[in-house]
Structure 1
Amino acid sequence: MSLACRAGCGACCIAPSISSAIPGMPHGKPAGVGCVQLTDDNRCAIFGRPERPKVCGGLRPEASMCGPDRDHALAWITRLERATSASPV
């Protein structure tokens, strides 16, 4: 079952790094930095538009990621970011 984005969250627009260009951020963004396309109510201003990075479209909200609140979602996506960007030991 697919979830809808939680109002006031924006975790998926803050926690992950994005290496591809984003309108207003031609070099992408580092992890932990809010995307310039994140609106005042923490929604994506370019959701569903062709200029939205493919990585964003591939991230689908689900119960394990989003959890009960924004803090859970930020922590979960931050852990995922660290796990997928860490150098092999």
Structure 2
Amino acid sequence: MPKGKPAGVRCIQLDEQNACLLFGKPERPPVCGQFAPEAAVCGKSDGEAMATLIDLEQLTA
């Protein structure tokens, strides 16, 4: 996303399984590589992780 990803907008580089299509490629944005998964963010399910990410995006918008 040339101007970054707005809060609340799904990344266009995610596939149907929420895997990054740019993982391991040089064009992957540095911020994505710096965001390491951890239990406090990921929770116990995809739904918990997405809810946390949405909250973080809204708090930092």
Normalising by structure 2, report the TM-score.
Answer: 0.81
Q: Which moved further from structure 2: 51-60 or 34-43?
A: 34-43
Please identify which structure carries the higher helix content.
Answer: 2
Alignment match of 1:48 (pick from 9, 24, 48):
24
Tell me whether 1:35 sits opposite 2:11 in the alignment.
yes
Give the 3-state SS of the residue equivalent to 1:34 in structure 2.
Answer: coil
Give the 3-state SS of the residue equivalent to 2:31 in structure 1.
Answer: helix
Given residue 78 of structure 1, which amino acid in structure 2 is its aligned partner? I
Give the 3-state SS of the residue equivalent to 2:50 in structure 1.
Answer: helix
Normalising by structure 1, report the TM-score.
Answer: 0.59
Q: Deviations over 1:53-73 (max 9, x none)?
A: 111111111111111111211
Give the 3-state SS of the residue equivalent to 1:78 in structure 2.
Answer: helix
Report deviation, 1:30.
1.0
Residue 13 of structure 2 contacts residue 21 of structure 2 at CA under 8 Å; is this kept in 1? yes
Give the 3-state SS of the residue equivalent to 2:44 in structure 1.
Answer: coil
- Structure 1, unpaired ranges of 5+: 1-24
What percent identity do the matched residue pairs reach? 52
Q: Which moved further from structure 2: 45-54 or 73-82?
A: 73-82
Q: How many residues align?
A: 61
